[in-house]
Homo-oligomer: A and B are copies of this chain.
Amino acid sequence: MSKIIKKDCEVCVGKNNGIFCGLTGESLKKLNETKLDHHFKAGHYLFYTGNPPSGLYCISSGTVKLEMVSEQGKNHMVQIFGPGAVVGYRALFANAPYQSSAIVVENAEICFVPRTTVMEIVQNDPKLSFKFLMMLSKDFRMIENRLQRLSTFTATERIAEALLFLRESYEGKNWTRKEISEWAGTTPETVIRTLADFEAEGLIEQKGRTINIINRTLLLEKARIVF
């Protein structure tokens, strides 16, 4: 399922402007020695809900989604990560099992950094842990926003936002209506009906399973995204 690649961190690290960018000396050496580079196919799970965290995943290329699963199979997409992002560190730092599963969306080249390495590097490098802190703070703001949208916005508004956001998160990918519903916090059926409405209004265009945004400005308005 996964192919091991051997690549030097000095190459990868700087490339995507990731969190480990700027690492030097002993820390970089340690990272290089212990990390494992893998190639993943779409659909592959990096980890499952309930698993104990054993390290973090650094995305070199591709996209990964984080989703929570409820007992009744009502999934919810929590976050999407692209190149340069780091996945699975919250459970690591909180020292608790994963609350969500990480699934590869497409073409992923991912670096696994074992727990001990992460802890060692982070705890000795105030700059790095501060970077994590900044990143996490920003992520928190995003999810805080989604929480409010979910509780005060209509399904139509959330679907409009989902279309825009998912498109932005991964240009190439045709997200399924199920995935859109899992981001928007609604059902596939509602997504389908709403998309039909959007098409009638000339906001989007549907060709088979692909969705094209025609009137971005109006869609933004529908999503009630303000600047």
A2 at the interface (CB under 8 A from B): no
Q: Let me know if A90 is at the binding interface, CB within 8 A.
A: yes
Contact A133 B93 (CB under 8 A): yes
Q: What 1/0 mask marks residues of chain A from 135 to 149 whose CB sits below 8 Å from any chain B CB?
A: 011111101111110
Within 8 A of B (CB), among A114-172: 122-127, 129-130, 132-134, 136-141, 143-148, 150-152
Q: Is the CB of B143 within 8 A of A144?
A: yes
Selected contact of A136 from candidates B96, B126, B140, CB within 8 Å: B140
B99, A147: Cβ atoms under 8 Å?
A: no
A200 lies within 8 A of chain B by Cβ: no
The A contact surface, by secondary structure, is helix
| CB < 8 Å neighbour of A150 from B99, B134, B150 | B150
Q: How far is the CB of A191 from chain B (nearest CB, A)?
A: 14
Once A143-B147, A152-B72 are accepted as A-B contacts, the answer to whether A129 and B133 lie under 8 Å apart by CB is yes
Q: Shortest CB–CB separation between residue A38 and chain B, in angstroms?
A: 24
18 more A-B residue pairs beyond the given contacts A68-B148, A76-B152, A123-B130, with a C-beta to C-beta distance below 8 A: A68-B147, A72-B152, A78-B148, A92-B137, A93-B134, A94-B138, A100-B144, A124-B126, A129-B129, A132-B133, A133-B133, A133-B136, A136-B140, A140-B140, A143-B143, A147-B147, A150-B150, A151-B185
